[in-house]
């Protein structure tokens, strides 16, 4: 799990840096930043509980990315917001404006969420269903996610 946590941290840091770029004055990028953390939070809640380790990892990544305190607060507010059901289509709209279909960030997002889902040792049916819906919303092939899941189950085959 340590290697996966390290991979997750490195990839998420890269994605956050890419979203925010040199500045944070672009409203589309700001919404994309919040979307990223809402998706992370949603993924952690799908199995019915958010572990302290998951939250600590997300906080550590924000510090490592050197996010100013107001941005860390925004990220944690988005991550923790489970008050309403996630409207995935609405969440993806700003993300797709910043990262159009076919962007490498789509792969990074799915792979980060897969690592987060597997942090407890398995990817359950609710997590798989969410990831499949997300991949579809990003315009990714349905077989892409299945190949990734298969590789996680049988790493020696890939």
| Alpha-carbon span 114 to 53, nearest angstrom | 16
Rg (CA), the chain: 15
In tens, the pLDDT along 45-58 reads 887 777 777 788 77
Spatial contact of 114 and 39, defined as CB atoms under 8 Å apart: no
Residue 88, SS3? helix
0.85 surpassed by pTM:
no
For the chain, the structural domain boundaries read 2-157
Question: Mean per-residue pLDDT for 92-121?
Answer: 83
Give tens-digit pLDDT for 102-114: 888 888 888 888 8
Cα torsion through 64, 21, 3, 138, rounded to 10: 140
């Amino acid at each position: 799990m340590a290697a996966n946590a390290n991979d997750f941290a490195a990839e998420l840091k890269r994605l956050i840096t890419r979203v925010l770029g040199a500045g944070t004055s672009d409203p589309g990028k700001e919404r994309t930043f919040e979307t990223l953390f809402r998706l992370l939070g949603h993924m952690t809640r799908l199995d019915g509980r958010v572990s302290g380790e998951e939250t600590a990892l997300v906080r550590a990544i924000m510090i490592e990315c050197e996010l100013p305190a107001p941005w860390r607060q925004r990220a944690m507010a988005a991550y923790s917001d489970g008050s309403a059901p996630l409207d995935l289509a609405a969440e993806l709209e700003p993300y797709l404006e910043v990262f159009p279909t076919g962007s490498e960030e789509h792969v990074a997002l799915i792979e980060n969420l897969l690592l987060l889902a597997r942090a407890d040792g398995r990817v359950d049916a609710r997590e798989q269903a969410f990831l499949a819906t997300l991949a579809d919303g990003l315009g990714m092939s349905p077989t892409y996610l299945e190949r990734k899941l298969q590789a996680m189950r049988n790493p020696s085959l890939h």
